[in-house]
């Protein structure tokens, strides 16, 4: 059966083997009729929390924190955080909070700093214009503006942004897009430091279970324990903005729409357009991808207590994201666009390819993985070797100096320390829009679950064989050859599934 499959910044139609099982994202949940109204109502009727009038007065200092450009992907055409910011400003102004006492903080954790143009998009031009001198990026290396609030019962430090911690109230505008996002992760990671992030971003914890299953995930367990330390020290009013999965918008929604078994002839305009796009220079295709905006819409707003609000968000996220899978498979095929949380506005690089596969796509399940233990994954991606040296200087070094030597993922602590103490990495992170030096290791750790469970990865039609070899993957000239390799090694009757993404979804085996 023919179906569309992504390949970096391209897509094409491929005739899959007859025995392939196909899985697709759910249709987008119908959006709310009025975003502003829904946000106001959620704020006026918070869950298990006092209303803002009882949390604030005219002398209160307020920090309005929000997620960075890694959420959602791609960026929204009309970002709901801007609408939420308008409503919050309107509300706290009526309470009498002085403008000078309002501070916006972008909770980017160890990610690169957000640029002014990106702030304007996230918060909206109106809010950005009025408060641009009061909008800051969180800086995890600014030792003078960090504070340790305590330790968990397991002995993990809770260190966060001091300006936020000393405010009378943190109002957090959180994008709840998948089961990974929202809740205490917003503050613990977004306003945290290496000291507070590494406990749950270590390979020992990440190998436990998929992080899209908060009930069993070690990552979520530690984050929630850290969050409760925060809860005892400071006041937080969470506003969770739940999105549907309208990944594509405008003409792209028609161009990249899955066939879903429709045996009618593929329209000529689609075939010609995709063929034309594939022939364009990579520089142009990359530029188009960097400017892509998604059609995500607001489907729910929950405000108040950070844990109780998140409970409600998860119910809606599960409805949107979870897709039933019939069984486990010997082979899973994945198309992989050049889109990750860590290359917004930048080139895809080998380390990001690995974390997209092992860290994100492999973790997109609850319970059993759709892939059998030691099964094979076939990916469709050009596997470029290009690095954006402004955003990813430590990635470049880590890939060439460490990854290429096939290290033991559980024995990198000494290297981790060297990257943490590297002054050049810290300078570029703090002043030059680079990712934190240790983030290179964290994206490597992020793929631990896939690393220990996947038998073989075969890359279809990569442009750089050395990239494939350095990552420990195998080369195939096309999908036909990749499937042939699997049949030769597993058997002619090996079971095959194609998970058609994007839009992303969470697999859930149901018998």
Neighbours of 410 (CB within 10 A): 14
What is d(CA 142, CA 155) in angstroms, rounded to the nearest whole number?
23
What is d(CA 411, CA 444) in angstroms, rounded to the nearest whole number?
12
Q: What is the pTM of this model?
A: 0.96
Assign 3-state DSSP to the chain and report helix, strand, coil percentages, each to 5. 40, 20, 40
pLDDT (tens place) for every residue of the chain, 511 residues total: 999 999 999 999 999 999 999 999 999 999 999 999 999 999 999 999 999 999 999 999 999 999 999 999 999 999 999 999 999 999 999 999 999 999 999 999 999 999 999 999 999 999 999 999 999 999 999 999 999 999 999 999 999 999 999 999 999 999 999 999 999 999 999 999 999 999 999 999 999 999 999 999 999 999 999 999 999 999 999 999 999 999 988 889 999 999 998 877 889 999 999 999 999 999 999 998 988 899 999 999 999 999 999 999 999 999 999 999 999 999 999 999 999 999 999 999 999 999 999 999 999 999 999 999 999 999 999 999 999 999 999 999 999 999 999 999 999 999 999 999 999 999 999 999 999 999 999 999 999 999 999 999 999 999 989 999 999 999 999 999 999 999 999 999 999 999 999 999 999 998 6
Which residue carries 């929390």 as its tokens? 49
Tell me if 331 sits within 8 A of 377, measured CB to CB. yes
> What is the DSSP-derived secondary structure letter of residue 502?
S
Domains with residue ranges and CATH for the chain: 1-28+250-292+326-511 (3.90.226.30), 31-247+295-322 (3.40.50.11440)
Strands, E assignment, 431-486 = 456-460, 474-476
What is d(CA 155, CA 198) in angstroms, rounded to the nearest whole number?
13
| Beta sheet of 322-325, edge-to-edge order | 322-325, 506-509, 365-366
Look at residues 277, 333, 330 and name the one whose alpha carbon lies nearest to residue 501. 333
What is d(CA 259, CA 256) in angstroms, rounded to the nearest whole number?
9
pLDDT given for residue 262 in this prediction: 81
Instruction: Determine phi and psi for 480, rounding to 5 degrees.
Output: -55, -45
SS3 428: helix
pLDDT given for residue 314 in this prediction: 98
What is d(CA 153, CA 161) in angstroms, rounded to the nearest whole number?
21
Strands, E assignment, 254-311 = 298-304
Beta partners for residue 10, in sequence order: 7
Look at residues 398, 392, 281 and name the one whose alpha carbon lies nearest to residue 345. 392
pLDDT given for residue 264 in this prediction: 74
What is d(CA 435, CA 433) in angstroms, rounded to the nearest whole number?
7
């Amino acid at each position: 059966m023919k179906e569309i499959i992504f390949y970096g910044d391209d897509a094409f139609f491929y005739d899959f083997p007859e025995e392939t099982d196909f899985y697709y994202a759910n249709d987008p949940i119908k959006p709310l009729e009025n975003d502003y109204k829904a946000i106001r109502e959620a704020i006026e009727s918070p869950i298990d929390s006092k209303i803002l009038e009882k949390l604030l007065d005219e002398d209160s200092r307020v920090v309005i924190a929000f997620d960075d450009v890694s959420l959602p992907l791609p960026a929204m055409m009309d970002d709901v955080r801007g609408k939420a910011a308008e409503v919050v400003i309107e509300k706290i102004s009526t309470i009498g909070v002085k403008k000078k006492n309002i501070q916006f903080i972008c909770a980017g954790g160890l990610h690169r700093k957000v640029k002014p143009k990106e702030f304007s998009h996230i918060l909206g031009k109106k809010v950005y214009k009025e408060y641009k001198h009061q909008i800051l990026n969180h800086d995890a290396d600014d030792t003078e503006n960090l504070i340790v609030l305590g330790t968990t019962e397991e002995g993990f430090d809770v260190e966060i942004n001091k300006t936020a911690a000393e405010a009378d109230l943190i109002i957090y505008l959180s994008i709840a897009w998948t089961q990974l996002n929202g809740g205490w992760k917003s503050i613990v990671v977004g306003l945290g430091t290496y000291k507070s992030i590494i406990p749950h971003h270590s390979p020992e914890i990440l190998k436990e279970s998929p992080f899209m299953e908060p009930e069993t995930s070690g990552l979520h367990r530690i984050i929630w324990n850290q969050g409760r330390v925060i809860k005892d020290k400071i006041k937080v009013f969470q506003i969770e903005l739940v999105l549907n999965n309208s990944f594509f918008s405008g003409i792209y929604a028609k161009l990249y729409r899955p066939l879903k078994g429709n045996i009618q002839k593929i329209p000529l305009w689609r075939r010609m357009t995709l063929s034309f796009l594939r022939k364009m220079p990579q520089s142009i295709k990359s530029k188009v991808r960097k400017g892509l905006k998604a059609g995500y819409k607001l489907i729910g707003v929950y405000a108040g207590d950070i844990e109780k609000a998140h409970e409600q968000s998860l119910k809606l996220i599960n409805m949107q994201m979870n897709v039933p899978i019939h069984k486990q498979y010997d082979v899973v095929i994945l198309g992989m666009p050049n889109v990750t949380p860590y290359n917004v506005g930048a080139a895809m690089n080998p380390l990001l390819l690995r974390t997209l596969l092992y860290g994100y796509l492999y973790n997109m399940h609850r319970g059993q993985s759709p892939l059998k233990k030691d099964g094979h994954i076939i990916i469709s991606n050009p596997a470029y070797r290009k690095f954006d040296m402004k955003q990813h200087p430590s990635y470049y070094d880590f890939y060439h100096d460490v990854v290429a030597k096939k290290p033991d993922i559980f024995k990198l602590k000494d290297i981790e320390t060297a990257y943490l103490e590297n002054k050049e990495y810290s300078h570029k992170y703090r002043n030059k829009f680079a990712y934190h030096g240790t983030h290179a290791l964290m994206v490597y750790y992020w793929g631990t679950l896939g690393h220990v469970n996947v038998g073989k990865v075969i890359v279809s039609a990569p442009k750089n064989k050395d990239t494939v070899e350095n990552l420990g993957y195998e080369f195939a000239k096309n999908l036909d050859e990749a499937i042939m390799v699997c049949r030769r090694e597993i058997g002619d009757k090996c079971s095959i599934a194609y998970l058609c993404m994007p839009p992303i979804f969470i697999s859930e085996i149901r018998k």
